[in-house]
Structures are given as structure tokens and as C-alpha cells.
Structure 1
Amino acid sequence: MEGIIAIWQRDVIKFFRDRARLIGSFAMPFMFLILFGSGMSGAMSSMMGGANQGPLADFDFVQFMFPGIIGMTVFNTAIFSALSVVQDKEFGYMREILVSPMSRVSIAIGKVLGGSTVALFQGLMMLIFVPFIGVSISFVMIFQLIPVMFLVAFALSSLGLLIASSLKTSQGFQMIIQILIFPMLFLSGALFPLSGMPAWMNFLVKINPLTYSVDMFKKIILQPDQMAPALREAMGLDLTVFNHIITFSEEIIVVALLSIIFVVLATMRFSRTEA
């Protein structure tokens, strides 16, 4: 247990001491939310029908994007946290840890928990944008977001560790992650409504772990149950699999199962890592 805490503490302290990374974490969300969101708001409203009356008149693209921006932030931070594993290999620090009495399972769990904690903190930092975009966030929503964010971050940190355990260079890790990030992000409903897609793309959406993660954030923040059915359908907020509308509880189960699978595979692969 002490080994897990030590690895977790190292990654968390390293994050808070890196001011450039701390400040830079706002750059991408700001660009998407303020620049891209505001710039595309008029175009998206026109695509939604351009009606000044009726339920579709309440569509706000910036507010729609906000849960997706939180998902994007948690996703990027959690999965890129595993980059430190590859860097530690390159600089020899990982060799020192692996030959220590600390079990490799403890090292892997500590790394995942460290990445999850940092991703949770950065996700919560996105709430700073709330007063500027007209989204209403209550303390109840924040308390709901915290465990959901951590669960999503844990699953994605485990996925990042699984990938990092198989690579030897940071350049290779970054290239593989970049290949994963954009398809997973754009097929998750984070930036655009999941409606009117072809069947083959809809299949990719349903097997994308980030889809269920982003949808959970939307259910908490956007409160789709209080929306008009037409607006909810146009925004793609009714995620269905085999004509069954996925509930919030079912999404929790899906992400939790993925977390277990990813962390087991990651610890098994990390345990075979050469010292």
C-alpha cells in the first residue's frame, strides 16, 4: 500500500509543480469552447433548423459542447499521464523502481491512480468556464461529476498504461495516442450531436468507450430529462444500443467494466516489463 501511495504522490506532486502544464491545460479547452464553439454556434443553429420558435430554438452549441470539453480534458490528461512511464524508461528511473522491493502491480496501480487524480483535477478546473458560457451548475451536479470523472479517468489511465507498457520511446507513444485521440473524440458526441450517422459510423460510436463517458457528463450537466423530446433527439442525447436507450446506471456499469478490464490487462502487461 505504501508503494502505491508513493507512486501516486510522485505523479500528483509532479503535476502541481509543472506550471506550464497546469496553465497549458486550459489552452485546448479554451480554443474548442470559446473560439470553435462560439464560431460554430450560428452554423449549428442553422443546421438544427434555424427556427426562432419551438423547442429547437433553445439549442445552444456552446452549452452542448461543455460536457464534451470536460470529457475531452479528462480523456487527454488521463491517457497522456502514461507518457511518464515511457519517459521513466528512457531516463532510467523506471529501472530503479522495477528492481526495488516494491511489487510491479503496486507500481502499475500507483501510476493509474496518479493519472486518474490529475485528470480529475483538470476536469474540475474546466468548471471555471461556467460563468462565461451560461451553463447552470449546482453543487449537486459537482458532487455527481466527481466520482464519474474519477471512474472515467481511471479507465483511460489504465488504457494509457497498457499502451505505454508495450512501447519504449515517448515519440512512439505520442504517435499511437494521437492516432487514437481524434477518432475516439469525434466519435464520442463530445463536439457534435450523435444523430443521422451512417450505420458503419454508428457502430464505431457504440464501441467507443468515450461515448458512454461523455454521455454521462451530458446527463449530469444538460439534464436531458427536462428538455423537449424534439430538442433531446436533435442533440443526440438518447444513446441507444439495439434500440434500447442506455440509462445512466448502465453507462456506469459499462465504464466500470472497462476500467476493470483495462487495469487488469495493464498490470499484467506492466508486470512483464523488463527492468
Structure 2
Amino acid sequence: MLLEPSPGRGSLTRNMCAVRVMWQRELIRLSRSPVSSLVSLLTPLLFLLVLGTGLNSATGRTGHDTADYRTYLLPGVLTMVVLSPAVNTGVSIVWDRHAGFLREMLIAPVRRTALLSGICLGGATAATIYGVLMLALAAPFGIAVALPQLTPLLLELLVITLMFTALGALAAVSIEHIETFQAVVGIAMMPLVFLSGAFFPVSGLPGWLHGAVLANPLSYAVDAMRRTLATSGSDTFVESGLRWAGWQPPVVLEVAVLGLLALTALAAAARRFSRTG
């Protein structure tokens, strides 16, 4: 009923209404389980505090003039945090196909691109909220983000989560069974995370893995956030970041690559979605 066109409304208005409705639907999913949302943040938080503090002690990085490994680890942990709700968006698409809601979406008098865009924007917004909650929980432990860094970091998180949800949507409209989707995502996530520089500098990897690092979208996400969070004490970490033939791309270019990938994945998902009967 929410997607029915009103008299005198144009197709653009109907499509924007569809985007808003699907965006709200994804946020309602988040609001219905606030306790589980907070609990899901405990493991990454402990990972950040325990592993980060332990490696600080092991490497002797305990002074105020040295790079804090927890600061280095924060972008990787944020990536882990936002991955879960972004992937869950894909799970919901596969589930809706079995529950019958997908069929109702297909007969709505709106473009299917608008439906998928609303789903992805909702999933990206929910995932970004997870990232903000993670930053809030980490701040009392001395892992705070300076105010000038906060705005660009949130914008980067939004683009990153949109990329994740678009890729998840592309996988979801291509895979019919939830078990298969979860297996594929589970197998893909492990190498993507470890080849992104989330936990250690990618410059230390063998040369034959360099191509895989450059082809990994998570590498650009982690590197962009790490350089945004960089301070005078963490410059040594940034110097060992992502490079193209010895040249370090600017943060704006890295975010642009992620945005282009998000749009490409969304367009491919919409094309695949349009063939769903």
C-alpha cells in the first residue's frame, strides 16, 4: 500500500517514495534488536582493546611520542563492524525471496533500481550507525577521534558501507538459497580482510600477493580511514600503506574508487534483479 502511486504524482515521486520506504524498512530491522546490536560490538571492541594494547606492549609502543597500534587497528575493526550489518542486508534480500515479499516488490509500479537503492541505502545507514557506536564505545578507553577527523571519517564510512551493501545485494540477487549465500560470503570475507592491511602493513606481504591487495576493495577502505585518522604519532603506519607502483593515491581517489565500485555493483544488481520473476 505504501508504494501505490497517488493521483497526479509522477514516476520520479513514486520512485523516491520507494527508496524512502525501503530505507525505512532496513532501519526498522535495526531498531527492533538494540540489545543484539550492542552485543555484536563487544567482540570487535575487545579485539581492539586486548590485541591493540597487547601488541603495544610487545612492540614497546607505550610512550606518547610513539605510534599507538590501537590507532592502527581501529580502521580494520571499523571495517569488521560495518561488514556484518551490510552483509545482513543481502541475507534479508535472499530471505524476502523465500518469504514472498520479493514478489510483492516486483509488482510495485516503480523501478526496481529504486527498490534496490533504498535497500542498499538503508543497509549502509544501519552499518554506519554501527560504526558510530563503535567509535563511541572506544572513546572512553583513549581511542578517540578528533573532531576535525570525524566528519570525513563518517563520510568515508557511508561510502564504504554502501559499497558493501551493493556487493551484498549483487550476491543476493544471484544466489537463491540462504545457506549458499552465507557460505559464499563466509569464504570470501576471510581473505578479503587479511589482504586489506586491517591488522598489519600490506608492504610486509610477499610480492606475488601485491596484485590481490590492489584488487581488494577493503584495502582502499582501510587505507582511506587510516590516513584520515593519522596523527603525527601514526605517520610510520601510514607510510606503509597502499601504493600503486610506489605512488600513494590520495584519500579522495581511494574513496572515489569505492564509490564507483558501489555504483557498478548496484547497477549490476538492478540488472539482475530486473530479470527476477
Match for residue 245 of structure 1 among 234, 244, 248 = 248
| Post-superposition CA distance 1:254-274 (Å, at most 9, x none) | 112212211111111111122
For 2:233 and 2:46, how far apart are their aligned partners in 1? 28
The aligned runs of 1:108-127 (5 Å cut-off) are 108-127=116-135
Cα distance change, pair 90–243 in 1 and its aligned pair in 2 (3 A): same
Deviations 1:205-227 (Å, cap 9, x if unpaired)?
A: 1110011111111111123xx35
Which SS does the other structure have where 2:203 is aligned?
Answer: coil
Cα 1:124/1:71, change in 2 over 3 Å: same
In structure 2, the partner of 1:12 is 27
Cα shift readout 1:4-36 (whole Å, capped 9, x = no counterpart):
111111111111112343123313312421233
Name the counterpart of 1:106: 114
Q: Distance in 2 between matches of 1:51 and 1:95?
A: 56
Alignment length (residue pairs): 262
* SS of residue matched to 2:198: coil
User: Identity of aligned pairs, percent?
Assistant: 30
Instruction: Report the CA distance between 1:123 and its aligned residue.
Output: 0.9
Moved more, 158-167 or 250-259: 250-259
Check if 1:191 corresponds to 2:206. no
TM-score by length of 1: 0.87
Q: Which runs of 5+ in 1 are unaligned?
A: none
- Report the Cα offset of residue 184 of structure 1: 0.8
Note closer, same or farther for the CA distance 1:2–1:52 as it changes in structure 2 (3 Å cut). closer
Residue 273, structure 1, aligned to residue 266, structure 2: no
Task: Name the stretch that deviates more: 79-88 or 206-215.
Answer: 79-88
User: Counterparts of 1:21 and 1:195 in 2: how far apart (Å)?
Assistant: 37
| Equivalent residue letter for 1:11 | E
SS of 1:81's partner is: helix
Contact map agreement 2:56 2:62 (CA 8 A) in 1: no
Q: Is the 8 A contact 1:72 1:190 kept in 2?
A: no
- What's the Cα RMSD here? 2.2
Deviation per CA, 1:176-213, whole angstroms, max 9, x where unpaired? 11111111111111122222211121211111001111
CA distance in 1, matches of 2:95, 2:162: 20
CA–CA distance in structure 2, aligned partners of residues 153 and 221 of structure 1:
18
Segments of structure 2 that go 5 or more residues without pairing to the other structure are: 1-15
Contact kept? 1:25, 1:122, Cα under 8 Å: no
Please state if 1:211 is matched with 2:219. yes
Match of 1:256 in 2: 259
User: Does 2:180 match 1:172?
Assistant: yes
